[in-house]
Amino acid sequence: MKDTTDLAEKKIGPLLLSYYMPAFIGVITGALYNIIGRIFIGQAVGHEALSGLSVVFPIMVIMMGFGMLCGIGSGIMTSIALGKNDKVYAEKIIGNGLILMIFVSLVLTVVGFIIKIPLLHSFGATPETIEYANDYLNIILLGTVFGIVGYGLNSSIRSEGNAKIAMYSMLVSIVINVILDAILILWLNMGVKGAALATVIAQFALMLFVIFHFRSNRAVISLHLRNLKPDKKVLIGIISSGMAPFVMQIANSIIQGVFNTQLIKYGGDISVAVMGIINSVVTLFVMSIIALNMAAQPIFGYNYSAGNYKRVKETLDLSIKYATILAIIAFILAEVFPHWIILMFNNNEELIAKGVTGMRIFMLMFPLVGFQIITSNFLQSIGKVNIATLMTLTRQVFLILPMLFLLPKMFFLNGVWLSMPVSDAINVFIVIYFLKKYSAKIDYKIKTTS
């Protein structure tokens, strides 16, 4: 059985790196679920099928949001409980988290099938793309529980300090997904249905892996039947702790839907396909920073609850530094090599032309994104969930949404792409304010407790 000594004693730099690499591999492989499917679909079926998958993306973001609500919420509470050396309560959190994941999954599946057609239309499906979108979504909905439980419990594996095992589970899943994509899409000619089926089977494998982990001797905390009994206090705690990333995902889904409808209005279906490619690329870049979040989260949660505020501040400073470096690297890649990136998905000349322009504009302010993501995670981990949620809503709703309606009136299609960098540039001042405020409070705690 693994203990939590590293979280309390190991130097922050090496500790953060040791958690980052497994988390990075894990989330990148997770992001590759959709990206690999899109590459296969774009090359084997065409840009209309790619547009269909892009229409489904906001719905999958909603599903992912509910997974984050349960998974990240459980993970944050688990880190705090372990920081207080309360493994009994941590195990109750895992059990209740699992029950919540299953319940949420079943509700999403039922509701999804009831409202899927109007939902697809509202997110930008057209007569040319609706069949592709519907075929893909039908299979994804049937596998909702696999994805939510798999990703949710995987987050808790990281929170107990088993970052490498969390990484291995994701690697097993993505290898299965890639192999099945090749077989089902290219060999069996199943198109978008094959891509969806490959994803669901891979998610099922992930779910089995993480459940078996929490029943093994490798786990710091174990999954027991007695802890599957719902506890109101624990469930409320999980939901509260996971609310900020959940709100972020739901807001992101709404924004993606508006993006799609504005893109159809100003650029047609092919611009929606471009958005799908940009989303895939941005997801990879953002996930590299999210991995840093995942690496920092158990360090934040454990040491804050244990009163080791100096380690919390050191983790925050290093995380911001590394996140900014990652964001700058991503910015350079997107600005210098957009043509080659888009060519991986499809070789349509119009798609490439629109994609190069779109990606360069969309990523203009990406160097400012890294520390914003870290700040939100830091606030969640020290219990400032409402502030983290407000910051998320400000960027995702109060800034981007108005820009999506205002800027295209002046700059047409380019205005749609511009809405993201303009919003990021404005939001940076809000994030800096809260970062300074709560960083100063940590400094005060360090002085008064040293």
How far apart are the C-alpha atoms of 275 and 57, rounded to whole Å?
Answer: 10
pLDDT tier at 450, thresholds 50, 70, 90:
low
In 28-95, which ranges are E strands? none
User: What mean pLDDT value characterizes the chain?
Assistant: 86
Q: Which two tokens stand for residue 101?
A: 């994941």
Out of 8-12, 177-181, 193-197, 350-354, least confident range: 8-12
How far apart are the C-alpha atoms of 286 and 370, rounded to whole Å?
Answer: 8
Q: Are 155 and 71 in contact (CB under 8 A)?
A: yes
Task: Report how many domains make up the chain.
Answer: 1
How far apart are the C-alpha atoms of 66 and 191, rounded to whole Å?
Answer: 28
Radius of gyration of the chain (CA): 21
Q: Is 128 helix (H, G, I), strand (E, B) or coil?
A: coil
Q: What pLDDT, in 10s, does the model give residues 275-328?
A: 888 988 888 888 888 888 878 888 887 888 788 888 888 899 999 999 999 999
CA torsion sign, 150 to 153 to 158 to 162? negative
Q: What pLDDT, in 10s, does the model give residues 257-289?
A: 899 899 999 998 889 889 888 988 888 888 888
CA torsion sign, 273 to 276 to 280 to 286? positive
The residue type of 386 is: N
Q: What pLDDT, in 10s, does the model give residues 186-216?
A: 889 898 899 899 999 999 999 999 999 998 8
Using left for φ > 0, alpha for ψ between -120 and 50, and beta otherwise, residue 161 falls in: left
Given this model, what pLDDT does residue 224 score?
87
Q: What pLDDT, in 10s, does the model give residues 56-112?
A: 878 887 888 888 888 888 888 887 888 788 888 888 999 999 999 999 999 999 999
Q: Which two tokens stand for residue 28?
A: 């990148």
CA torsion sign, 428 to 433 to 436 to 438? negative
Instruction: Indicate the burial class of 77 (C-beta count within 10 angstroms; 0-12, 13-18, 19 or more).
Output: buried
> Which domain range does residue 65 map to?
5-449
Given this model, what pLDDT does residue 379 score?
86
Average pLDDT of the segment spanning 375-392: 80
Q: Is 3 helix (H, G, I), strand (E, B) or coil?
A: coil
DSSP conformation class of 216: S
Given this model, what pLDDT does residue 1 score?
43
For the cut 90, the answer to whether the pLDDT of residue 348 exceeds it is: no
Supply the pTM of this predicted model. Answer: 0.73
Q: Are 53 and 234 in contact (CB under 8 A)?
A: no
